[in-house]
């Protein structure tokens, strides 16, 4: 396996970090998903499963790619946190859900995509909110 992908060290080698994620763990991370969601993503080649007997798992690297790309250098740990929904971001930013989604579409608020859903890295949200204060 390559040690580097696009200049970023492979994160699977980090000590103490689970190497493979279950569907249940990803549903908790994204607050979104179902068996049919995973089957479609796998069939389309968007999410690469690792199968061992009846167990299906996913690598962090593949999860990050599915969400829209690798984390910035040094941001791997922050990007492993469970993602926030637009409603949660709106609550913390004291803005409407529609405003949060508009900012994400505009690109001023960094967002991840899980299928058609927008999700947000808590550290990125905190940094974005701090710009306004």
The answer to whether residue 80 scores a pLDDT higher than 50 is yes
Rounded-to-integer distance, Cα 34 and Cα 24, Å: 9
Contacts of 42 (CB under 8 A, 6+ apart): 48, 49
Q: What is the mean pLDDT of residues 108-126?
A: 96
Q: Residue 100 corresponds to which tokens in the numbers above?
A: 């949060």
Task: Please compute, for residue 87, the number of CA atoms within 13 A of its CA located in the half-sphere on the CB side.
Answer: 1
Rounded-to-integer distance, Cα 23 and Cα 45, Å: 16
Q: For residue range 27-42, what is the model confidence (pLDDT) as tens digits?
A: 999 999 999 999 999 9
**Percent of the residues in the chain that have a pLDDT greater than 70, as a whole number:** 86
């Amino acid at each position: 396996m390559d040690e580097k992908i696009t200049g970023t060290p492979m994160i699977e080698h980090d000590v103490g970090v689970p190497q493979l994620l279950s569907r249940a763990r990803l549903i908790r991370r994204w607050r979104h998903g179902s068996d049919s969601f995973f089957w479609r993503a796998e069939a389309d080649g968007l999410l690469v499963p690792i199968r061992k007997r009846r167990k299906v798992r996913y690598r962090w690297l593949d999860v990050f790619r599915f969400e829209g790309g690798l984390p910035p250098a040094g941001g791997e740990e922050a990007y492993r946190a469970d993602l926030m929904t637009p409603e949660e971001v709106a609550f913390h930013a004291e803005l409407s859900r529609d405003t949060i989604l508009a900012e994400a579409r505009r690109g001023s608020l960094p967002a991840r995509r899980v299928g058609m859903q927008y999700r947000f890295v808590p550290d990125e949200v905190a940094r974005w909110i701090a710009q306004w204060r």
